[in-house]
Amino acid sequence: MNAPLAGAGAERSEGVWHAAWRRFKSDRVGLVCAVIVIAFLLLIVVAALGGVAKDWQREVGVANAPPTFLGPRPAEAIGVIEVPKGPNVDLSAVDPLAPRYKEWEERAAKFKTAETVKAETLPMGADRLGRDVLAKAVKGTQISVFVGVMAAIVATAIGTLLGAFAGFFGGKVGDFLEWLYNVFEAIPGILLIFAFAAVLGRGIGTVVLILGLTGWTGLYRQVRAEFIKHRNREYVRAAEAIGASVWSRIFSHILPNVSHVVLVRMSLLVVGFIKAEVILSYLGLGVGIDDVSWGTMLAEAQSELILGHWWQLAAATAFMAVFVTAFSLMADALRDALDPKLRGLE
Amino acid sequence: MLLRIQDLHVAFRMGKVGGVVQRAEAVKGVSFDIAENRTVALVGESGSGKSVTAMSILNLLPDNAERSGKILWLGRDLLHTPMSELQKLRGREIACVFQDPMTSLNPVFTVGDQLIEPLVKHMGLAKKAALERAEALLVEVGMPEPKRRLAAYPHELSGGQQQRVMIAMALACEPKLLIADEPTTALDVTIQRQILELIAALQRKHRMSVLFISHDLGVVGEIADEVLVMRHGVIREQGPVAQIFTAPKDPYTQALLACRPSLEGNPARLMVIDDHIAQQATAPRAVAQAVAKDPSAPVVLEVRSLAKSFWLKQGLFGKREFKAVQGVDFKLRRGHTLGVVGESGSGKTTMGLTLLRLHEPTHGEVIFDGQDLLRLSASERQVMRRRIQIVFQNPYASLNPRFTIGQTLVEPMAIHQIGASTTEREQRARALLERVGLDGSAFGKYPHEFSGGQRQRIAIARALTLSPEVLVLDEAVSALDVSVQAQVLNLLRDLQDELGLSYVFISHDLAVVRFISDEVLVMKDGIVVEQASTEQILAAPREEYTQRLLAAIPRGYVSTP
Amino acid sequence: MAAYLIRRLWQMVPTLLGVVLLVFFLFKYFGGDPAEILGGLNATPEQIAAIRQQLGLDQSVWVQLGIYFKGILAFDWGKSWATNEAVSSLFATRLPATLTVMLPILILDALLALPIAMWVAYRRGSLTDRLIMVISTVALSISFLVYIIVGQYLFGFQLGWFPVQGWSDSVWTNLATYVPLPVLLALMVGLAPQTRLYRSFFLDEMGQDYVRTARAKGLTENTVMFKHVLRNAMIPILTNIGLALPGVFVGSFLIEVFFSIPGLGREVLLAVNRSDYPVIQAVTVYLAVITMVINLTVDVLFKLVDPRVVLK
């Protein structure tokens, strides 16, 4: 049941990554999703540099302005006091402050008041304070994805390093790390996050730290298992036999053979952390008060929904759904490309 | 005629490239017959298509397999039989025994539960009656304490016992044909002999036909009536066993027979299949005999009372000592080869690894060039690593899949500062590749592009980069096909003659050890059972275990006068 | 067996120690000053100092640690700073509510995911399989929040099928009236990933050698799937459920917040917002103990499921 071995001379030599890239390219779904993800990432970079959605906090629309395609809300007649027309009545005869009118007029002339015309409709509508939902969604994407990716990087770094040491050395080092892992695992995840959040407060950096410090356990377990599996493999024994140092064996020999597992796991972490950040921000434990993320948008959206204003909810959900779906499918395609055995039969 | 296979083709769908379905052809037009009460053997190396042929009879292939041709069982074409009909046939008229009994048995059901399944399904027996019959079956296959075994789980049995269960399961409904797919390959040599004799006895008793698949001509020669030799999906030769062994017609068959290291004769080189096929065109040469080694060569490695124990957890806080190696002594002379023979669990591999301090020994001395290897400091050990090296068993695991061959070969040189510059090291690496019979272009390639035999050569080249004096070969040819094995063994012999290397050759295969070793060490359960020169061990083994080992080796076909 | 249990219980001690130390030092060095929190915004420095002395905060770290330990061992969890309710009574009253919601979710999730996963694994590669995979991926990408917000709005507010929020004192009223909507929403979110996971377990088992042996014995595909494959796949499935059990006790705080269910999760959330340290600390330690006990129980019971397990 073996496929015939490709002629050793005919094929160009390719390593694991080249072969994976080739397989990835042939998966159309994965490719489309990768393009979408890259587009999002570009958008994020532009937003971070201030090119887009910089003024998301400005109240450019009327409160709860509907999206453009719905048309402006009909003017509400109730509770609006009519502004009287005609010039002001002259009270200079009775007003004790009359002599100072001139002085004040001169001073007032020095100031400029900008009359901002509040827009009746915005592309994706406005929120309760009249802020542009589209701008918020873009900025929120930047923050939520940034937090998710950074937290994933932190968790991956911790988990990989600790897992490598625990798996390779075993013995006392392994026992200590296992104890550390058990301590973190014994506490249910959300509880741990809450405990950290209670003491560290809110803010983007804090959220990254919290998620990173509480989310490394799954990766640790997997990397440790892989290292235990590999450290007795013959190529590692051979490396020891020729005199390779411990460092070299861990990082030059075994780690490259484990990196695809780490990569797949990290992509799962990104998705998980983005969703965790959304929930944390919703609860007020995530990003700071002056920041916007998908979570804060959802927090506002809840009360808006009762009034029938659904556009902020829709915008946040749409951006999040598109990005996370594309990212998940791309990660699936990546995993299939890295391990052809997992591919279903065609 | 029970089974007629006519022009069978089997191909596997391997996915689509550019919209075109890719297929890998495993069997390309195979035809043969199996009559009643006959043992037919299907022999071939890995990739020859023998297992695929056998599995396609009952359609036990994976979903992406496509069969065409005719498979006639008592006149009925099995290729066009609906699945429900085929299921009535399976286990009842045609039964199977597979290679790896540990994974072929369901781990969560007891032996009894699995044994009664075919009885209940095909014979309609009630559970109690089926269990009684199952017990009788276990007795028939020679299982000790059959009643107890019925309630046992597969993992509680040894490999040999598991295979007996598989055989009992296959015999349950008294099938007309038994398909045995490499049933003894995963077992130790002595157990292998027991299972072979069991199958032969059962065949005679039940007048059952057996389709026996194997890569080992020695095994096949002992039990088969007819032999079919396959290579690359086609049958090269088929005929009665006597004819195949004494007067083979096809060059591949002849080569296969010739390149087995045997217990008789003392050739200098083993025949290699391609050489043999090419050579048949010209007149066959006489095989050169091996030159005897100098018995008074200086001792290069001396081992005294080497022992290694492992500690296992037991009870609440206690530890139990597992003595893997207990008190091994030997002397290795320059240019000689010491063969270390034993079955699995004998401690031979542990001993080999301990020599290089890949396991830390519990006790003993290893004297190399006046220094005790086991008492060296870290820096001295690093220097010593250059002089004694190792080649491992599994060619698919001993090279780092992420390193190019060049990186693998240059690394040891870089660590030990051999060669003045990277260019010089690369040159050395390329030269070594050619020395072991590979093209210099292999330098930039990855291990997965090479076959098992080629990877083993690369592993040998890596060991040689440091110009060692002693090479430990831990089952270095055990995972290779017979012809590839011959090539690597010849290479090892050549290198020994040319470079004056000394080998510690660990293996379970006495025939291979016989070819390459000058002295032999027999190990069992960590102890040296017997130690003598190769001739002496083979001609007059003193210990009972050594005699048993020798007797267990399949001899191939021996014509009865 | 007894030796195994003793050894496992003995091994729990360092872990528990670690948890207690982690919680203690986390709150001590990173948290705000308890005295200031308790004193409130308008407390005078004298009042704060008095509180500090009362809490024993003016003593050395080791003494404080000792006091903390003693409290844990005596099962005196302290009182909530916000409500002055004893934390232990907090547990007793809140836990039942959490379990009333979480246990149905756990059970229904597994019961529904199993047959779907088996069916999907059997038809691996077909259009149905791929469609379900895509649907589940999209479903997973939408935050649980959205499901709850929309679900609550749609089913509770607009359609009026279920009450939007609420809880009662009787278990049966709860199960009949207030639990269905949260459970429905949780299932909508949780079913997709569970099915995918179970599907991968089934696929793994279907590729094993013993499946070929079973076929070779002439067993029908149904027997092979429902007897041989299912029995083996139950091992990782039950492991998975066992791992999810500790989470049941914390509950889904989101559900409890949205539906005003007085459960443990919501209590912890309130405690976080009010900086109510005793509650958070106690819940953390308490749940760590529960997690370890549950893990031990699952490990011991596992021998019934997987005969290969050796408890040493």
**CB within 8 Å: A241 and B15:** no
CA angle at A97 for the pair A96 and A103, rounded to the nearest 5°: 150
- For residues A241 and B357, the answer to whether their CB atoms sit within 8 Å is no
Strands B65-73 and B3-17: antiparallel
Tokens standing for residue B448: 């997965």
Quick check: C144 contacting A, CB < 8 Å? yes
Calpha distance B473→B456 (Å, rounded): 11
Q: What pLDDT does A84 receive?
A: 75
Which positions ≥6 away from C62 have C-beta within 8 Å? none
- Chain B's closest residue to C227, CA to CA, is B109
Label residue B406 left, alpha or beta by phi (over 0 means left) and psi (-120 to 50 means alpha).
alpha
Nearest beta carbon to residue C15 from set A183, A285, A298: A183
What's the gap in Å between the CA of B351 and the closest CA on chain A?
Answer: 15
B411 closest CB neighbour out of A2, A16, A242: A242
Contact B92, B118 (CB under 8 A): yes
Chains A, C: CB contacts within 8 A come to 121
Point out the residues of chain B with pLDDT beneath 50.
283-285
Query: Rounded to a whole number, what is the distance in Å from the CA of A1 to chain B's nearest CA?
Result: 6
Instruction: With CB atoms and an 8 Å threshold, state whether C15 touches A317.
Output: no
Asked if B169's CB is within 8 angstroms of C218's CB, the reply is no
CA-based nearest distance A54→chain C, Å: 26
In chain C, whose CA is at the least distance from the CA of B152?
A: C307
| Across C284-297, average pLDDT | 86
Chain B partners within 8 Å of A231 (Cβ) = none
Give the orientation angle of helix C87-122 with respect to helix C127-141, to 10 degrees. 150
Instruction: List chain B residues with CB under 8 Å of A345.
Output: 13, 62-64
Q: Which of A1, A226, A258 to mutate to test the interface with B (most CBs of B within 10 A)?
A: A1
For residues B422 and B414, give the distance between their C-alpha atoms in angstroms, rounded to a whole number. 8
Task: Supply the ipTM of this predicted assembly.
Answer: 0.81
Q: Which residues of C touch A271 (CB under 8 A)?
A: 141
User: What separation in angstroms does the CA of B528 have from each of B188, B541, B545, B549, C139?
Assistant: 18, 14, 11, 14, 65
Selection from B285, B253, B277, B271 nearest residue B483 by Cα:
B271
Non-local CB neighbours of A204 within 8 Å, separated by 6+ positions: A143, A146, A147, A287, A288, A291
Q: Torsion-angle region of residue B462: left (phi > 0), alpha (psi -120 to 50) or beta?
A: alpha
Cβ–Cβ below 8 Å for A325 and C137: yes
Per CB distance under 8 Å, which residues of B are interface residues toward C?
A: 58, 60, 83-84, 87-92, 95-96, 98, 100, 103-109, 117-118, 121-122, 153, 155, 166, 169, 313-317
Q: Is the predicted pLDDT of residue C4 greater than 70, yes or no?
A: yes
Measured between beta carbons, which residues in chain C are less than 8 angstroms from residue A279?
143-145, 254
Contact B107 C232 (CB under 8 A): yes
Min Cα separation C236/chain B (Å): 13
CA nearest C213 in B: which residue? B104
Angle at C243 between CA C240 and CA C246, to 5 degrees: 145
Q: Between C153, C273, C291, which is nearest A188 by CB?
A: C291
CA atoms within 13 A on the CB side of B409: 34
Residue length, chain B?
Answer: 561
Test A3 with B51 for CB contact under 8 angstroms.
no
pLDDT of residue A1: 35
Cβ–Cβ below 8 Å for B26 and A11: no
> Could you give phi then psi for residue B60, rounded to 5 degrees?
-100, 25
What are the distances in angstroms from CA A215 to CA A180, C27, C137, C284?
13, 19, 22, 17
Residue C203 Cα distances to C229, C236, C308, angstroms: 9, 12, 21
Find, in chain C, the residue whose alpha carbon is nearest to that of A305.
Answer: C153
Give the residues across from B5 on adjacent strands: B32, B71
- Closest partner CB to B462 (pick from A6, A238, A243): A238
User: Degrees (nearest 5) of the Cα angle A66, A71, A74?
Assistant: 85
Cβ(B143)–Cβ(B157) below 8 Å: no
- Residues of chain A scoring pLDDT < 70: 1-14, 73-80, 116, 339-346
Q: What are phi and psi of B309, to 5 degrees?
A: -120, 150
What is the C-alpha to C-alpha distance for residues B118 and B125, in angstroms, rounded to an integer?
A: 9
Buried residues in A238-262 as b, exposed as e (16+ CB within 10 A):
bbbbbbbeeeebbebbbbbbbbbbb
What residues contact A56, with CB distance under 8 A and at least 6 apart? Answer: A131, A132, A135, A136, A138, A139, A292
Q: Give dist(CA B397, CA B392) in Å, integer.
A: 9
Chain A closest-CA separation from residue B512 CA (Å): 22
For residues C274 and A7, give the distance between their C-alpha atoms in angstroms, rounded to a whole number: 70
Alpha-carbon span B411 to A244, nearest angstrom: 8
Tokens of B229: 């030799």
Comparing CA positions, the residue from B217, B225, B324, B326 lying closest to residue B273 is: B217
Question: Which residues fall within 8 angstroms of residue A317, CB to CB, at 6 or more apart?
Answer: A298, C142, C143, C146
Burial track B471-510 (b if 16+ CB lie within 10 A, e otherwise)? bbbbbbbebbbbbbbbbbbbbbbebbeeeebbbbbbbbbb
What is the helix (H) or strand (E) element at residue B40, kind and residue range? Answer: strand B39-43
Distance CA(B26)–CA(B16), nearest Å, equals: 18
Residues 20 through 79 of chain A touching chain C, CB cutoff 8 Å: none
Is C143's CB within 8 Å of A278's CB? yes
Q: Does C235 touch chain B (CB under 8 A)?
A: yes
CB < 8 Å to A250, chain B: none
| Per-residue model confidence as pLDDT tens digits over C197-252 | 888 899 889 888 999 999 999 999 999 999 999 999 999 898 888 888 887 877 77
**3-class DSSP assignment, residue C54:** helix
* Of B561, B398, B383, nearest in space to B475 by CA: B398
Residues of B in contact with A2 (CB under 8 A): 24, 26, 46-47
Q: Which residue of B has its CA nearest to C205?
A: B106
The answer to whether residue C208 neighbours chain A at the CB level (below 8 Å) is no
C-alpha span between C279 and C89 (Å, rounded):
11
Query: So what's the pLDDT on residue B317?
Result: 66
What gap in Å lies between CA B137 and CA B537, rounded to an integer?
39
* pTM, to two decimals: 0.82
Measured between CB atoms, which of B88, B313, B316 is closest to C218?
Answer: B88
Q: Does C309 touch chain B (CB under 8 A)?
A: no
Phi-psi category of residue C142: left, alpha or beta, with phi > 0 → left and psi -120 to 50 → alpha: beta
> What is the rounded distance in angstroms from the CA atom of residue B72 to the CA atom of residue B197?
29
B393 CB neighbours in chain A (<8 A) are 234
Chains that touch B (3 or more CB pairs under 8 A): A, C
Nearest CA in chain B to A3: B24
Window 145-184 of A: residues touching C by CB (8 A cutoff) are 179-180, 182-183
Whole-number Å distance between alpha carbons of C57 and C52: 5
Q: Does C232 touch chain B (CB under 8 A)?
A: yes
Nearest to A329 among C18, C31, C137 (CB): C137
